[in-house]
Every structure is written in structure tokens, then in C-alpha cells.
């Protein structure tokens, strides 16, 4: 924007300057010419007045001889052309047209090398002589080049001033906009403390003020949401503790061990929610996690429940034995658990499913698919969207986890007959 203002100002100012300077340059040239010709005409009239004053009636020859006309006046060659064609003073090129001055009219005519000024002189006996003063071409344009140079310099100064003013104006507009843009980017990255100093035109000052108000409001709302999540999660500790005590009082066996393990996992999840809710920026806390190991662990975890429901399950690994992604371990576990849990909860018992992970040098792709009825034409992705009476948070959690890590998420029909859900995470080479 700043550059555009400068370019537009330069173009407009240059056009205006040229529109004035070109006619002004022509006017300067004409004024210089008229000044020189006027001075020469005045000199010619002086010669004519003297010639008329000493006219004794015998003609101009004697009068001019008595006047003693020389070769030049003030450096200009002077000629007196008598009625009979005789020339006194400087020579006159042959064939020069004297029709106009012979008729009694003074004036000037262009000739070779310059311009000639003519003034007629009427004698007492009615004869007309002509006083001719020659002005060289160099005198007609004397100092014109310097005047043009001054005009050009003046025009350039005006253009530079206009460009400077446009640049200052553009800066006053662009800098506040750039500051707002940078602040908005920081706010989008999670920096809730960012603020701007309102400046610039009144409209931009108002925008900056509203931005600060928005940032404060977002920080307040997010803080309230985090505190609410932390409080709710903390309240879960009491029933969790009671459930754990009840589980530990059960007879020893596989069922008791699995129930205790489930409660331990639930307690870790609650602790993670509390920690994450109290972090200033969640993304800063994300470290590097081996997604292959986590996927294998969660597939093995759900295997026991799948066996109880008579489901055939598969787990496949392709590519590298490990892959690091910038997502917390808890988030990956929650995403995989949501996908496998949906299969176990919303497909008939005995429905087969498969979990696979394929890694490369750039990404890790996790796929969960089943032989169930599928998700339909429009998968229920979004908070609160569910067609089975659940909370509708599962797929939304998965999608937000993947997108927050810079990955991709999509659903499609599986070759097994049901739904196929794919998560792709970008991998890191750091170890």
C-alpha cells in the first residue's frame, strides 16, 4: 500500500508538473526573444529619430553621413537602406524582402543566422528609408537554457516533496495496519497478552482499540473455560477415588486387574486435562512422541474388550519402526481411543475392525476401519453431532488433535464394508 501511494503520487505529480512546465518553458523562450527584439527595435528607432532630426531636405544620404552611422549599435549590426537601395552601415544580404518596412510598418523577420528588426524613416520629401538591426540567434535564446534548468530543478523538487509526503502518509497508514496484522497473528498463535498501540488515522485508532478489547475478552473467556475444565476434572477425583477403593476390594483376578488399570488410565487422563487447562498455551507444551509405539499400545489395550465381544481385530505396521510427531502422548492416546471406542460402542458385537499405521520420512498415517454399517453420507463430525445418543465429541476430538499438529483427517468407505477413518501426522527427524 505504501509503495502504491508513492507510485501514484509520483505519477500524478509528474503529470501535473509537465503540464505546467512545458508551456512555461515555451513562455520563457518567447519572453527572452521578445525582450531582445524589443531592445533591438528601440535601438533602431533611435537611429531613425536621429536620421529624421538631421534631415535637411536633401535626402537621407547627407543626413546619415552627418549622423555618422557605424557598423553596430550595442553589438548589433546596423544597416540603413536608403530609398534608392543604397546601404549605409553593415551589409544586407541581397534579395531580402523589404516590402513590409517600405510600406511604413515596423517589425521583425527571421533571416539567416538570426532575426532582423526593421524601422521605417520618412523624410521631409516623402521618401522612406529603412533602419535594420540584426540580432544573432544566440542572443535570442540567451539564458533560456539556464531558465529551463531552473524550471526543471523546481519541478523535480516539487515531485520529490510530493513523493516524500506520500511516503510519510503511506507510512502513517501502513505501520498501524502491519502492527495490527502482526498482533492478530500472535493472537492466533496463542499469545493472549499481545496488545497494540492505537495510532494512525481515527479509523485505524478505533480498530486498534477494538482489537485490544477483543484480545482481553478472548483471554478472559479462555481463562474462564480453562478454569471450568480444571474444576470439573478436579471434581472427578472424588468418585474416581471411591471407584478405585471399590475395585481394590474386589477379589483378585483378571477382571479386578483390568478394572484397576482402567481407573489408573482414567486418573491419568483427568490429571492431564487439569494440567493442559492451566497451561498458557497448549501448543508450547507439545513435545515429540513415538506415534508407532502409542498406536501399538492402544491397539493391544482394546484387544481384551474386542475378544470379549467376539470381534476379530488386526494391527499392522508398515514403514519405520518408530516415528516422532509433535503431539502429546495423551492427545494421541485420546484420539486412537476415540476411534477404536466408537467401533466397539456403535457397531454390533462380532463386527471386525483393523488398526494400521504406515510411516515414511515425512508423515505417519493411522487408519482405523471396520466392517460395520459405516458413517453414512455425512459423517457426524463436530461437537454434539451424533446419531447414536452419545456426546458426539469423539470424532471432533480426533479432528482437532490432528489439525492442531498440522496434519490431515478424513473419512471414507472401508474395504471391510464399514467406515474408514484416517489420521496423518507430520513427523520430525529430531531424536
Q: Which residues contact 357 (CB under 8 A, 6 or more apart)?
A: 291, 292, 295, 296, 316, 317, 318, 319, 364, 365, 366, 367
Please give the Cα distance from 151 to 80 (Å, whole number).
40
Bigger pLDDT: 226 or 304?
Answer: 304
Q: What is the rounded CA–CA span in Å between residue 141 and residue 209?
A: 63
User: 216 and 317, same structural domain?
Assistant: no
Tell me the three cell numbers of residue 25.
518553458
Strands 313-318 and 363-370: unpaired
pLDDT at res. 355: 93
Same domain, 135 and 151: no
User: Residue 426: is its pLDDT beyond 60?
Assistant: yes
Q: Is residue 242 part of a domain?
A: no
Residue 296 has pLDDT above 60, yes or no: yes
pLDDT at 390: 43
* Average pLDDT of every residue of the chain: 78
**DSSP letter, residue 118:** E
Q: Are 354 and 419 in contact (CB under 8 A)?
A: no
- Tell whether the model's pLDDT for residue 72 goes beyond 60: no
Domain termination residue (choose one: 142, 174, 193): 142
Inside any domain, residue 89: yes
Is residue 54 located within the same domain as residue 135? yes
Q: Do 293 and 406 fall into the same domain?
A: yes
Closest CA to 73 of 135, 22, 12, 15: 135
Instruction: Retrieve residue 51's grid coordinates.
Output: 536620421
Q: What is the pLDDT of residue 357?
A: 93
* Residue 76: CATH number of its domain: 3.30.450
Among candidate residues 112, 142, 172, the one where a domain is terminated: 142
More confident residue, 278 or 322: 322
Task: Output the domain CATH number for residue 294.
Answer: 3.30.565.10
- Asked if residue 353 and residue 301 are part of one domain, the reply reads yes
Q: How confident is the model at residue 378 (pLDDT cuts 50, 70, 90)?
A: low
Q: Give yes or no for residue 386 having a pLDDT over 50.
A: no
What is the length of the chain?
A: 431
**Is it the case that residue 168 has pLDDT exceeding 60?**
yes
pLDDT at 365 over 60: yes
* Beta strand ranges found along 311-418 (DSSP E): 313-318, 324-325, 353-359, 363-370, 408-413
Strand ranges (E), 52-198: 72-73, 76-81, 87-89, 107-111, 114-122, 128-136
Q: Over 80: is that where the pLDDT of 207 sits?
A: yes
Task: Name the pairing type of β-strands 408-413 and 353-359.
Answer: unpaired
Do residues 420 and 313 both lie within one domain?
Answer: yes
Q: Which pLDDT score, from 0 to 100, does residue 46 have?
A: 78
Of 348, 6, 56, the residue nearest 165 (C-alpha): 6
pLDDT in tens, 2-40: 677 777 777 787 888 788 778 888 888 888 888 888 888
Q: At residue 195, what are phi and psi to the nearest 5 degrees?
A: -140, 160
Domain that holds residue 205: 147-234
Grid cell locating 35: 525582450
Separation CA 67–CA 341 (nearest Å): 130
The neighbouring-strand residues paired with 219 are none
Q: Are residues 299 and 413 in the same domain?
A: yes
- Choose between 58 and 311: higher pLDDT: 311
In a domain, 257, yes or no: no
Same domain, 133 and 200: no
**How many other β-carbons are positioned within 10 Å of the β-carbon of residue 402?**
22
248 within some domain: no
Domain assignment present for residue 30? The answer is yes
Q: Are residues 416 and 387 in the same domain?
A: yes
430 pLDDT above the threshold of 60: no
* Residue 37 sits in the same domain as residue 107: yes
Q: How many domains does the chain have?
A: 3
Indicate the residue among 142, 173, 208 that finishes a domain: 142
User: Do the domain assignments include residue 131?
Assistant: yes
Grid cell 523535480 in the structure block, residue: 156
Half-sphere exposure of 81 (CA within 13 A, CB side): 21
Structural domain includes residue 252? no
Maximum Cα interatomic distance, the chain, rounded to a whole number of Å: 161
Dihedral angle over CA of 223, 227, 230, 233, nearest 10: -130
Per the rule left: phi > 0, alpha: psi between -120 and 50, beta: everything else, 143 is left
Lowest mean pLDDT among 60-64, 316-320, 337-341: 60-64
C-alpha cell belonging to residue 236: 472427578
Q: Are 127 and 121 in contact (CB under 8 A)?
A: no
The verdict on 106 and 167 lying in the same domain is no
Whether 406 maps to a domain, the answer reads yes
Say what percent of the chain tops pLDDT 70. Answer: 82
301 shares a domain with 188: no
Question: pLDDT of 172-206, one tens digit each?
Answer: 777 788 888 888 888 877 777 888 888 877 888 88
Higher-confidence residue of 100 and 311: namely 311
Give 221-266 pLDDT, tens digit per residue. Answer: 877 777 777 677 667 766 777 787 777 778 887 877 878 777 777 7
Q: Which residue has the cell 498501540?
A: 197
Calculate mean pLDDT across residues 94-111: 76
What torsion, rounded to 10 degrees, do the Cα atoms 19, 23, 25, 27 define?
-160
Amino acid at each position: 500500500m505504501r509503495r502504491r501511494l508513492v507510485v501514484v503520487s509520483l505519477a500524478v505529480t509528474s503529470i501535473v508538473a509537465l503540464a505546467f512546465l512545458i508551456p512555461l518553458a515555451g513562455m520563457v523562450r518567447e519572453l527572452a526573444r521578445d525582450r531582445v527584439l524589443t531592445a533591438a527595435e528601440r535601438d533602431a528607432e533611435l537611429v531613425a529619430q536621429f536620421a529624421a532630426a538631421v534631415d535637411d531636405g536633401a535626402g537621407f544620404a547627407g543626413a546619415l553621413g552627418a549622423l555618422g552611422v557605424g557598423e553596430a549599435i550595442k553589438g548589433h549590426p546596423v544597416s540603413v537602406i536608403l530609398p534608392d537601395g543604397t546601404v549605409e552601415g553593415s551589409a544586407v544580404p541581397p534579395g531580402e524582402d523589404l516590402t513590409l518596412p517600405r510600406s511604413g510598418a515596423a517589425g521583425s523577420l527571421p533571416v539567416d543566422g538570426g532575426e532582423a528588426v526593421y524601422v521605417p524613416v520618412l523624410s521631409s520629401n516623402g521618401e522612406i528609408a529603412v533602419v535594420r538591426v540584426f540580432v544573432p540567434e544566440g542572443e535570442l535564446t540567451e539564458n533560456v537554457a539556464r531558465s529551463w534548468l531552473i524550471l526543471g530543478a523546481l519541478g523535480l523538487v516539487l515531485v520529490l516533496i510530493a513523493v516524500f509526503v506520500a511516503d510519510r502518509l503511506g507510512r502513517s497508514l501502513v505501520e498501524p495496519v502491519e502492527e495490527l496484522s502482526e498482533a492478530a497473528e500472535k493472537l492466533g498463535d496463542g499469545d493472549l497478552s499481545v496488545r497494540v498501540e492505537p495510532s494512525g488515522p481515527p479509523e485505524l485508532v478505533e480498530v486498534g482499540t477494538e482489537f485490544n478489547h477483543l484480545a482481553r475478552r478472548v483471554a478472559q473467556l479462555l481463562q474462564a473455560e480453562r478454569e471450568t475444565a480444571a474444576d470439573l476434572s478436579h471434581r472427578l477425583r472424588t468418585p474416581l477415588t471411591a471407584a478405585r477403593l471399590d475395585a481394590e476390594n474386589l477379589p483378585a483376578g483378571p477382571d479386578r486387574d483390568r478394572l484397576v488399570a482402567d481407573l489408573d488410565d482414567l486418573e491419568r487422563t483427568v490429571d492431564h486435562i487439569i494440567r493442559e487447562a492451566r497451561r498458557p498455551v497448549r501448543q508450547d507444551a507439545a513435545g515429540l512422541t513415538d506415534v508407532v509405539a502409542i498406536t501399538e499400545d492402544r491397539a493391544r489395550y482394546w484387544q481384551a474388550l474386542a475378544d470379549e465381544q467376539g470381534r476379530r481385530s488386526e494391527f499392522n505396521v508398515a514403514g519405520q519402526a518408530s516415528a516422532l510427531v509433535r503431539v502429546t502422548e495423551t492427545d494421541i492416546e485420546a484420539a486412537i481411543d476415540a476411534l477404536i471406542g466408537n467401533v466397539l460402542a456403535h457397531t454390533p458385537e462380532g463386527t471386525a475392525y483393523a488398526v494400521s499405521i504406515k510411516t515414511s520420512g515425512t508423515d505417519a498415517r493411522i487408519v482405523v476401519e471396520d466392517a460395520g454399517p459405516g458413517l453414512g453420507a455425512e459423517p457426524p463430525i463436530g461437537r454434539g453431532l451424533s446419531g447414536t445418543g452419545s456426546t458426539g465429541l469423539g470424532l471432533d476430538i480426533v479432528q482437532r488433535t490432528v489439525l492442531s499438529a498440522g496434519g490431515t483427517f478424513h473419512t471414507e468407505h472401508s474395504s471391510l464394508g464399514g467406515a474408514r477413518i484416517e489420521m496423518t501426522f507430520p513427523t520430525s527427524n529430531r531424536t
